[in-house]
Structure formats: structure tokens, C-alpha cells
């Protein structure tokens, strides 16, 4: 058996755990909204038409923030269509996903859903087919207390209290030729600056996200971030990053090392942002809104049809069925995000329900947890206090995409107030277990609250409607506590979380 070691020291801190890293994403795409979070005719539906089973799972997974309503969808969206009496709302063509949008779920419904789940809203603006004035109109409708046409209209629609949305995305993936209203970096950067400047005239304390690259593989990556930020740096707080990973052509070793790519992506965007800051001679630091990330298979989706010639309401789109390997990768991507807590201000797993999601549903049927649900839920529950800077020694493993990478990856958090220490580990090897020795001499461990992980003899095992609990977290009985040393064996292709006490 190979071995690895890591040293924990509470004095070496990266940053406080940022709860916004545990965000998610609800887009009007496929069945994420309709028959996902919203299904008035469902047996569990509440008075607002929200599926209570999905509400409960959303609370359980520990989502802190939700980005809405897109995504590609937002670049053709008219926010006015989703307010007021439902019977008066128009049906529209959604060009992004070749669907019919009924607008039965809109801004008011999203606000009520956020209140019931306890999540912070993150609102995306249409800067594809619309511009500054439409953004200001939505801001006035949503956030102004009253006494104006649009804020009073909100009151007439039943919401006298402002929605109070503080976090806004200035468009979505405007670097992508697939985007309705696609722009060059300079064109978009100027529009983002104009929109941000105007919005701050109403509310100076807003947090605003500029569009970064939709993928590290985009030919404009790096140059896009530089040119956009040169235009709008003084007016924004975050720049977005999007990344999706899958087991391409059976290259499982590279897939399991996907977090290496995320690390490099984050480091590159930070370097670019800091370069622009140096050019502008400002001490202000831009952080990253990694507001789309996940595993995504274009060819392994469950009952996913191409657009064809039909325009349908809530057709099935990219309903990936996730296995154990996918869950291990998701757990490792969370490790990467936590490790960069000093520069990642927001992160959203995409999406929440049905569409490449940790939560699956069937119309008029059950809801269940995908394998990827568990590392997210456990990490969200256990990570607290400060993210620690670790000293990790691990054997290396060869990958076609990333070269030699550590077999074991890890991050830890320490909550000084409660004395709780959480360690998150992943074994990227498909061949065998790794024994990990954790030196806790600088934070003596007095007990073990929990040692649990995701692994299975069948790496392809998944959860389905027929077998919703085929894959669930398993206790790791190999853990040994010996004075200032914690030793644990990580099975092949596994993600593990430890909850330790220091008092």
C-alpha cells in the first residue's frame, strides 16, 4: 500500500470559510424549474407550487446561495414576463435551449422560494439582447422601497417589501459565440462598466460580477479577462469563471485530476486580474465568482433529446446520471474551491435540480439524491472557521492531460471557537488504497466525530428512481487516533471527510 502524509497547523491560514462557495444555480433550462423545484400539481406541492421534497433536499445539501435565471437563458430573457398575475404572463420562445418558456415561475416566485430554502439570491441580468436601461428597470422593481412606477408596480403585484437583491451578474458567458448577443471583450467590458456605474447610482453597495471566460479552453481565455477588466475594473467586485469536466474517451486518470485544472484556472484568472490592478495602480482586489462548475457529459445524459424541430415546455435536457467516480471528482473540486477561499468569492454548482444536478425528480413522482449530492452536503455541513494551508506529501500519478499529479489531495478547516477540525481528502488512484498520516501535533486531536466517504467496488454505480440509495456515504472504519497522529486508509477512487475535535 502506498502512503501519504500531511501536516496541519492552525497558525497557517488561507482565509475564513466562505459560505458563498456552497452556492448553486437555477436556470430556466430543461426541467430545472418546471417539474424540478416548481410543480404545482405534485403531491408535495405547497401553496406556491414548490415541491416540498425538493425544498427539503435543498436545505439538506446546504446550498447557501442560488444564481438565477441563467445561464444562456438570461441573454434573451425579458424579466417583465415573469411578474404579475400568472394568467397574464406571455409564452415565449427560448432561443438558448430551443424551448417554450411559460413564465409561470418568475422573480416573485424565486424570491419566495429563496425565503423558504434560506438561500441568498444571485440575480443575472440580460446584457445580450438588452442593456443599461432594462437592468435599471429590474433593479428599481426589485429593490427600490416605493414611490416610483416600477417599485409601486411590485407592490401591486403583492410584494410591498423590496426583494433586496445585493449580488448581480452582469450578463452570462458573453465570450461565447453561442450566446444571444455575443460581444467582443471590449464591447462587453464597456457595457458592463456602463451598467455597473448606473446601478451604483441607485445602490452604491451592490456586488457586481463581470463575465469572465466560459471555459479555460476558450481561444480568448486570459485576453478576455484582461480586456474586460481594463474597461470595468473600478465598477465590479468579481469576475466569473465556468468549468465542466467529464471522463473523456475513458481517460479516467485525467478526469480524477480535474481539480488540477480548476486550480490552474483560478490561479490564471487571479494573475490576470492582479496584472490589470497593477496597470490601473489600484489596491482593490477582484475575486472570482466560479458560478458554474460541475461534471457534465454531453453523451451520457438520461433521456436527453436534441432540439430537433419541436419547441416544448420543459423538455429533458442534459439529465446526467452520476456515478461514484463523478462524486469523487465533485468532492475534489470542492477541495480546490476551499483551497482558494482567499480569492474565490462565490461558487455555484450547476445546476440544482435535474439538469446536471445533485437532485433528481420525476414529474408527479419521486425526488432523490445523486451520488454528487453527498460530498457537497457533507462539505457544506462540516467546513467552518478558517481554511488551513497544508503541507502535503503524496505519491504521484501519471495523467495524459496534466502530467504527474499528487495521488492524494486534501484541504482542512479549523473552527477555533468550537475546536472542530475538518479534513477533506481524495484518493485519485483507480488502482489501490492509500494510507494517509495526518500530523495534528500543532492542534492535538481529542476525538473523532465522523469519518465518512464515497467509494464503491463498482466505480460506475449510480442512484436512480428505482434504486435511489444504491450509493450513500460509508463510514471509514480504518481511522486510528494515536496521540498527535491520525491515520486513515483511503480506498481507491474515493472522497473522504473527517470531523475531529480538539478539546
Spatial separation of the C-alpha atoms in residues 51 and 459, rounded to whole Å: 31
Strand, helix or coil for residue 60: helix
Q: Name which of 258, 295, 250 is nearest 426 in CA terms.
A: 258
**CA 218 to chain CA centroid, nearest Å:** 20
Spatial separation of the C-alpha atoms in residues 5 and 171, rounded to whole Å: 44
Burial class for 174, CB neighbours closer than 10 Å (0-12, 13-18, 19+)? buried
Our answer to whether residue 39 is catalytic in this structure is no
Spatial separation of the C-alpha atoms in residues 191 and 170, rounded to whole Å: 9
Strands 403-406 and 396-399: antiparallel
Contact of 197 with 206, CB cutoff 8 Å: no
CB atoms within 10 A of CB 10: 17
Q: Name which of 131, 105, 81 is nearest 29 in CA terms.
A: 105
Residue 43 sits at the vertex; the CA angle it makes with 42 and 45, to the nearest 5 degrees, is: 60
Out of 39, 101, 194, 292, the active site residue is 292
Contact of 277 with 285, CB cutoff 8 Å: yes
Out of 101, 173, 194, 319, the active site residue is 173
Radius of gyration of the chain (CA): 23
For residue 391, give Cα distances in angstroms to 423, 465, 468, 481: 13, 42, 38, 19
Contact of 260 with 405, CB cutoff 8 Å: yes
Contact of 146 with 177, CB cutoff 8 Å: no
What is the DSSP secondary-structure string of 112-156?
A: HHHHHHT-EEEEEP--SS--HHHHHHHHHHHH--SSSHHHHHHHH
Our answer to whether residue 416 is catalytic in this structure is no
Reading the block at residue 361, the C-alpha cell is 425528480
For residue 411, give Cα distances in angstroms to 61, 68, 93, 346, 416: 20, 29, 45, 18, 16
Reading the block at residue 188, the C-alpha cell is 462587453
Sign of CA pseudo-dihedral 231, 233, 234, 235: positive
Sign of CA pseudo-dihedral 372, 376, 382, 386: positive
Spatial separation of the C-alpha atoms in residues 9 and 282, rounded to whole Å: 33
> Which residue numbers are catalytic?
173, 292
Amino acid at each position: 500500500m502506498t502512503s501519504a502524509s500531511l501536516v496541519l497547523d492552525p497558525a497557517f491560514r488561507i482565509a475564513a470559510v466562505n459560505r458563498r462557495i456552497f452556492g448553486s444555480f437555477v436556470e430556466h433550462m430543461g426541467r430545472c424549474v418546471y417539474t424540478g423545484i416548481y410543480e404545482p400539481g405534485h403531491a408535495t406541492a405547497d401553496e406556491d407550487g414548490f415541491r416540498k421534497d425538493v425544498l427539503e433536499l435543498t436545505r439538506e445539501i446546504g446550498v447557501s446561495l442560488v444564481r438565477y435565471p441563467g445561464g444562456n437563458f438570461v441573454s434573451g430573457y425579458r424579466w417583465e414576463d415573469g411578474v404579475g398575475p400568472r394568467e397574464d404572463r406571455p409564452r415565449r420562445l427560448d432561443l438558448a435551449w430551443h424551448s417554450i418558456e411559460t413564465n409561470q415561475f418568475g422573480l416573485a416566485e424565486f424570491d419566495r422560494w429563496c425565503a423558504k430554502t434560506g438561500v441568498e439570491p444571485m440575480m443575472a441580468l440580460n446584457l445580450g439582447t438588452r442593456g443599461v436601461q432594462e437592468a435599471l428597470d429590474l433593479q428599481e422593481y426589485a429593490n427600490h422601497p416605493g414611490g416610483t412606477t416600477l417599485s409601486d408596480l411590485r407592490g401591486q403585484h403583492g410584494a410591498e417589501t423590496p426583494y433586496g437583491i445585493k449580488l448581480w451578474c452582469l450578463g452570462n458567458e458573453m465570450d461565447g459565440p453561442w450566446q444571444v448577443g455575443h460581444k467582443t471583450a471590449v464591447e462587453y467590458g464597456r457595457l458592463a462598466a456602463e451598467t455597473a456605474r448606473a446601478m451604483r447610482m441607485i445602490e452604491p453597495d451592490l456586488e457586481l460580477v463581470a463575465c469572465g471566460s466560459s471555459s479555460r479552453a476558450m481561444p480568448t481565455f486570459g485576453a478576455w479577462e484582461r480586456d474586460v477588466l481594463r474597461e470595468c475594473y473600478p465598477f465590479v467586485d468579481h469576475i466569473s469563471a465556468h468549468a465542466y469536466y467529464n471522463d473523456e474517451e475513458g481517460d479516467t486518470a485525467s478526469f480524477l485530476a480535474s481539480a488540477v485544472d480548476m486550480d490552474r484556472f483560478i490561479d490564471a484568472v487571479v494573475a490576470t486580474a492582479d496584472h490589470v490592478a497593477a496597470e490601473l495602480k489600484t489596491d482593490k482586489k477582484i475575486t472570482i465568482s466560479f458560478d458554474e462548475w460541475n461534471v457534465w457529459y454531453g453523451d451520457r445524459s438520461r433521456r436527453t433529446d436534441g432540439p430537433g424541430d419541436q419547441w416544448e415546455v420543459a423538455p429533458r435536457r442534459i439529465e446526467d446520471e452520476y456515478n461514484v467516480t463523478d462524486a469523487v471528482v465533485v468532492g475534489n473540486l470542492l477541495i480546490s474551491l476551499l483551497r482558494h477561499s482567499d480569492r474565490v468569492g462565490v461558487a455555484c454548482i450547476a445546476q440544482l435540480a435535474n439538469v446536471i444536478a445533485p437532485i433528481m425528480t420525476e414529474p408527479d413522482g419521486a425526488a432523490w439524491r445523486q451520488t454528487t449530492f453527498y460530498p457537497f452536503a457533507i462539505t457544506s455541513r462540516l467546513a467552518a472557521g478558517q481554511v488551513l494551508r497544508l503541507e502535503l506529501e503524496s505519491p504521484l500519478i501519471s495523467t495524459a492531460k496534466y502530467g504527474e499529479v499528487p495521488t492524494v489531495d486534501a484541504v482542512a478547516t479549523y473552527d477555533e471557537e468550537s475546536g472542530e477540525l475538518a479534513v477533506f481528502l481524495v484518493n485519485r488512484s483507480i488502482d489501490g488504497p492509500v494510507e494517509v498520516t495526518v500530523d495534528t501535533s500543532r492542534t492535538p486531536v481529542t476525538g473523532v466525530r465522523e469519518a465518512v466517504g464515497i467509494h464503491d467496488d463498482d466505480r460506475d454505480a449510480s442512484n436512480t428512481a428505482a434504486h435511489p440509495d444504491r450509493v450513500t456515504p460509508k463510514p471509514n472504519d480504518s481511522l486510528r487516533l494515536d496521540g498527535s497522529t491520525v491515520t486513515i486508509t483511503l480506498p481507491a477512487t474515493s472522497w473522504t471527510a473527517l470531523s475531529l475535535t480538539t478539546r
